[in-house]
Structure 1
Amino acid sequence: MRFISGAIVGAVLATSMTFVSSSAHADDVVAPPADAVAAPTDPVDVSTTTVPAVSQGLSAATADGGDLVAELPARKTDDFGLVGVTWDRGFDATGLLVEVRLRTAGAWGEWQELHVEGDDGSEGGQDGTEPLWVGSADGISVRVTSPTGQRPAGLKVATIDPGTTPAAGQASAPAAAPASSVSPAVYRTSSASAVTVASGATAPMPPIILRSAWGAAPNTSCSSPNVSPGGIKGAVIHHTAGTNTYTAAQSAQIVRATQAYHMKSRKWCDIGYNFLVDKYGQIFEGRNGGIDRAVRAAHSGNAAVNENTMGVSMMGTFSTMAPTQATKDAVTKLVAWRFSLVGLPASGTYSLGGKTLNRIAGHRDVVGTECPGAAAYAWLSAPGGLRDSVAGYTASVATPIAQRVAKLGAGATGALVQAEYPFYTAPGGTKARYKKIDIISSPLGTFSLGDVVRSRYNSLKGQSGALGVPTGIIVTTARSQVRMQRFHHGTIYRVKRKNKKVAAYALYGKVENKYRSLREASGKLGVPTKTQTKISGGRERAYFSKGTLTLQSNGRVTVSVK
């Protein structure tokens, strides 16, 4: 009979690792073969029990002056892999010390602290500690010490058995095996909510293990606002806490157990992090809602920061031991990719939720916590650390469009609307669309188009239309009211006329050639007043403040001056 009553979090949906990679567009990914996903062996099992109060007569003062206010005597349990302690919301947990002692392999270990995980209550649910991954234990003891002698109500300890994750058709790989040997990469089909991320973004998307692969609990719909329309403003780096000794095959168990603790014990709507990264460099999709979207998580303890940053949790404890190189490389590529989608630099600061934070910050920068551990926190800002690595990696893989975006900055480009994609109209190239500008790169150069010039260009079918690709930036002319931008086969003139809105007019082919030969806006025709259009008889005409140009059906251009 179980020591603590069980509660099923949800069946494991799939257990072989499923990756989405930027090597293919979302519509091009293929479904895994029917036998590629191993059936789950066990559901996730969450067991809870009350941590009893210590009677006032038995309460003992500790060395630091606190009082022992609750204690669960040591006892044997069924096997579990993760442990956490929760209590009712509203208690001032400043200075609260929560410790557990575990029995593993038949022997009792030393007391271990479970760090209190502060939050602002925006996620609702229960207050509690960080979860601690223990690998495998079959006994537990808990003690809680309070500096005020007050005990939080509703103290409970949760022990979680995450089930097992056999790789399809093969045994679990040894701990030293690379992630790629643990499970093959298969891809989600577009009909199964494929990720809508185009390849060719500023930094390539690294392989990511989707929720369906690690066995996420279903029906984790979080309340609005679950996606920030403004995109992310930075990243907050965490750790999951617990042993650093786990196999690559066990990583999915850690993620499942963490989700179960967050949902069943903390009473959150889903796992608290946007991404989790193990010591082998495997990246796991966290909270539901889209890996390329600003999904609100519960990772920082600050509502505004939760809504407008990405939370990345490294799996392990890093108080004295630094993350592995595989972890560092994966986190670098992940942050670089997500930042590149919205044009964020790796360095610099921003203000949010009453805090001024580095673009890449540690959890301890937001609330009072040791997370992500001293060694991991030092890596963020060290020379050659995470911030430097993200900047260097982004620069090393940057396309000409990405370089121009970096030069212009997010203020000039606005949020990304469509990631860089190829086009094949001669001379060929790539294009990316942002809220404020479009950027086109071709063998003729990399140039941006904005405001009315962009609108006019796109109304003429853009790079596939009569103008072709841009060959320069917008420049001033001898006439102060006119600016112009050249294209492979024509020009767009941006004209500001008295008492009229700024407008853009396009000329191309023989009509543009003739206008240029007449000194353009400085010549006898004056400034354009209408884009070149088709008229009767197979002709085309352009209108100016002082006359017209007409492309006749025989190919001649005639000039008419008022």
Structure 2
Amino acid sequence: MTMSNIRGMRGFLASSIGVTCAAALMLPLTPSAVAANTRPAPTAEAATTAGDRPAPGHTESLPLEPLNRTRATPAAPEQGLPPKDVRRFSLIGVVWDNPDTELHGRVQVRTRATATGAWSDWQDVETHNADHAADPYTAERASGRVRGATAPLWVGDSDGVEVRVKAEPSETAALPTLPTGLRLELVDPGEEAPQPRPVTSRADAPANNLTADTAAASAVNAELAPLGALEIPALTAEQTRSELLTVGGADLTAEQQARPYIGPRPRIVTRRGWGANESWRERKFVYTKKVKAAFVHHTASGNGYTCSQAPSVIRGIYRYHVMSMGWRDIGYNFVVDKCGNLYEGRAGGVAKPVLGAHTLGFNTHSMGIALLGSHATSKPSAAAVKAVARLTAWKLGLFGANPRGKTYLKSGGSNLYAKGRNVRLNVISGHRDGYATECPGWQMYRKLGSTRSKAAELQGR
């Protein structure tokens, strides 16, 4: 791939990976070029043990039942399931037929721990998840496979479940109603596969049991790490600036050559590092032209995980996004755990402008960074907040964006801004700045000012 393939990208982003995996690495320049040659949506049992793929997980999908059918005059529709033995799972969510229908109501679950047999207290599941989605009118949104869904909730290793969903009044409905086709999704993310040694060349890939899809997902990071690498190593500020000047110096202005504003590259765990099964996603990578802004999110999946479990939580969310919700890949471009570890999200290359499905209406020319957890009332860890600053200082610096600055993005249509409107936003924004939502939670949102300052400082501004 040459610089002419991706207009507006800095020179160092050009890649030399086009000699192999050609079908998997055809890179469309704009979101509109994505429709052709995509993989059919996988079934819930699509994961199989092969090569370096993770050991198979599964998704058990259970239709919800009316809970108040015997009441003469129920106050509001209620659906759910009584206590039930199920296959082992660790992540839970509720989906329904129409992605444009919002669930106005309360979703609560109780789960039984596999290790102890004890039932948890009732836990609330975040219902407003429509705002984490592909933009309207894109091929991903119009695929016919997308469903409405709650946020996923991480509950740990469990083998029993009880759920209740109760409708509540809304501004758009005279009587409380529930969406049609409500189903409970119980996700087992599968075990992380043993990782063979890092690969140094494509010829080495078969010996390390890399599938074509895994090799393709790794090859787009080839300028940053060896093929098959489990992580992209951190660089010092000087090394990062040197890399930028060496590879892309001819495309930089005199001022940028004298003092490029870019933060040191942070360590990033690759998709292979967290155990992504690359057979689940669609094959092609989809790009926007540039990255002008970063939207910060939380996954609303709960804080009850350990950092050693973070790869499992990410695999669970990935499976939920693709298998249960019908997306082409995990929606976020990056994920950050409570220990400050950074993870590659949607496939396509961490240094490239990969089109995500994270901020409805504003996915073009932006990236989505999700803190793994819930931060409406719980403060994010200092390590996670620092990781967001490090990531934005580097990635925004690749595209010349000032973390303290503002930029304009054209809305693709959200509940705050009509389609086509040019909206002035902070270069580092919270999800709620583009869509009326609680995300990324007030406790994280209030940290964005200091995050902008730290990211700018890391860029040398």
Structures share a fold, TM > 0.5?
yes
Is the counterpart of residue 218 in structure 1 residue 230 in structure 2?
A: no
The answer on whether the counterparts of 2:100 and 2:130 sit within 8 Å (CA) in structure 1 is: no
Q: Which residue of 2 aligns with 1:348?
A: 405
Work out which of the residue numbers 182, 185, 208 in structure 2 matches 1:158. Answer: 185
Give the equivalent residue in structure 2 for 1:392.
457
Which residue, 366, 383, 389 being the options, matches 1:326? 383
Provide the secondary structure at the position in 1 that maps to 2:45. strand
Q: Which secondary structure does the structure 2 equivalent of 1:292 belong to?
A: coil
CA distance in 1, matches of 2:121, 2:349: 41
- Cα separation, partners in 2 of 1:336 and 1:228, compared to 1, 3 Å: same
Is the CA contact 1:54–1:69 (under 8 Å) kept in the aligned structure 2? yes
Q: Paired residue for 1:545? A: none
Aligned to 2:91: 82
After superposition, the Cα gap between the structure-2 partners of 1:290 and 1:8, relative to the gap in structure 1 and judged at 3 Å, is same
Shifted more, 289-298 versus 122-131: the winner is 122-131
Name the structure where strand makes up a greater proportion of residues: 1
Residues 390-409 of structure 1, C-alpha deviations (whole Å, 9 max, x = no match) = 112222xxxxxxx6xxxxxx
For 1:118, the equivalent position in structure 2 comes to: 130
Identity among equivalent pairs (%) = 32
Mark the structure with the bigger radius of gyration: 1
Q: What do the CA deviations read for 1:48-102 (whole angstroms, capped 9, x no partner)? A: 111123465538766xxxx233222222223211111111115532633322222
Change in Cα spacing, 1:127 to 1:286, as seen in structure 2 (3 Å) is same
Residues 129-156 of structure 1 show CA distances to partners (whole Å, capped at 9, x for unaligned) of: 1111112222222222222332211111
The reply on whether 1:97 has 2:106 as its aligned counterpart is yes
Which secondary structure state, in structure 2, belongs to the residue aligned with residue 212 of structure 1?
A: helix
Deviations 1:159-218 (A, max 9, x none): 11112337769xxxxxxxxxxxxxxxx755364514335942422211111112222122
2:200 is aligned, of 172, 189, 193, to 189
Deviations along 1:250-278, one digit per CA (max 9) or x if unpaired, are 11111111110000000001001101111
Go from structure 1 to structure 2 and tell me whether the alpha carbon gap of 1:347 and 1:11 turns closer, same or farther (over 3 Å shift): farther
* Alignment correspondent of 2:57: 44
Any idea what SS the aligned residue of 2:446 has? helix
Structure 1: how far apart are the matches of 2:44 and 2:100? 27
The aligned residue for residue 209 of structure 1 is 269
Query: Contact conserved, 2:60 with 2:87, CA < 8 A, in 1?
Result: no
Q: Deviations over 1:488-522 (max 9, x none)?
A: xxxxxxxxxxxxxxxxxxxxxxxxxxxxxxxxxxx
Superposed, 1:351-366 pairs within 5 Å as 351-352=408-409, 353=411, 354=421, 355-366=423-434
- Structure 2 unaligned blocks of 5 or more: 1-42, 170-174, 203-214, 225-238, 245-261, 412-420
Partner SS, residue 393 of structure 2: helix
Equivalent positions of 1:7-406 (< 5 A) are 7-9=45-47, 11=49, 14=52, 40=54, 42-54=55-67, 58=71, 67-89=76-98, 92-93=101-102, 95-104=104-113, 105=116, 106-119=118-131, 121=136, 122=138, 123-124=140-141, 125-146=146-167, 147=169, 148-165=175-192, 189=200, 191=202, 193=219, 194-197=221-224, 199-200=240-241, 201=244, 202-219=262-279, 220-221=281-282, 226-229=286-289, 231-302=290-361, 305-352=362-409, 353=411, 354=421, 355-381=423-449, 385-395=450-460
User: 1:59 & 1:267 partners in 2: Cα distance?
Assistant: 38
Distance 1:255 1:13, change over 3 A: farther
Contact 1:101 1:142 survives alignment (8 Å): yes
- Kept in 1: contact 2:337–2:384 (CA 8 A): yes
CA 1:111–1:61: 2 relative to 1, 3 Å: farther
Q: Alpha-carbon deviations, 1:313-334, whole Å to 9, x = none?
A: 1111112222212212221111
| Aligned residue number for residue 18 of structure 2 | none
**Deviation of the 1:157 alpha carbon:** 1.1
Question: Closer, same or farther in 2 for the Cα pair 1:253/1:391, shift >3 Å?
Answer: same
> Is the contact between residue 125 and residue 150 of structure 2 (CA under 8 Å) also seen in structure 1?
no
User: C-alpha deviations, 1:453-482, integer Å up to 9, x for none?
Assistant: xxxxxxxxxxxxxxxxxxxxxxxxxxxxxx
Aligned length: 340
* TM-score in terms of structure 2 length: 0.67
Go from structure 1 to structure 2 and tell me whether the alpha carbon gap of 1:12 and 1:247 turns closer, same or farther (over 3 Å shift). farther
SS of 2:352's partner is coil
CA distance in 2, matches of 1:60, 1:93: 24
Name the amino acid aligned to 1:49: L
For 2:395, give the aligned amino acid. R
Could you say what the CA RMSD is over the residues aligned between the two structures, in angstroms?
A: 2.7
The 8 Å contact of residues 13 and 212 in structure 1, kept in 2 or not, is answered as: no
Q: d(CA) in 1 for partners of 2:72 and 2:63?
A: 18
Instruction: Please tell me whether the aligned partners of residues 77 and 177 of structure 2 are also in contact (alpha carbons under 8 angstroms).
Output: no
Q: Which runs of 5+ in 1 are unaligned?
A: 15-38, 170-185, 396-402, 404-562
Aligned partner of 2:271: which letter?
R
1:325-344 CA distance string (max 9 Å, x none) = 22122211111100100110
Q: For the residues of structure 1 that align with 2:72 and 2:335, how far apart are their CA atoms? A: 40
2:159 and 2:363 mapped to 1: Cα distance?
35
- Extract structure 1 runs of 4+ deviating beyond 3 A: 8-14, 53-62, 119-123, 165-169, 186-192
Distance 1:73 1:255, change over 3 A: same
TM-score by length of 1: 0.56
Give the C-alpha shift of residue 368 in structure 1. 2.7
Partner amino acid, structure 1, of 2:187: I
CA contact 2:408–2:424 (8 Å) conserved in 1: yes
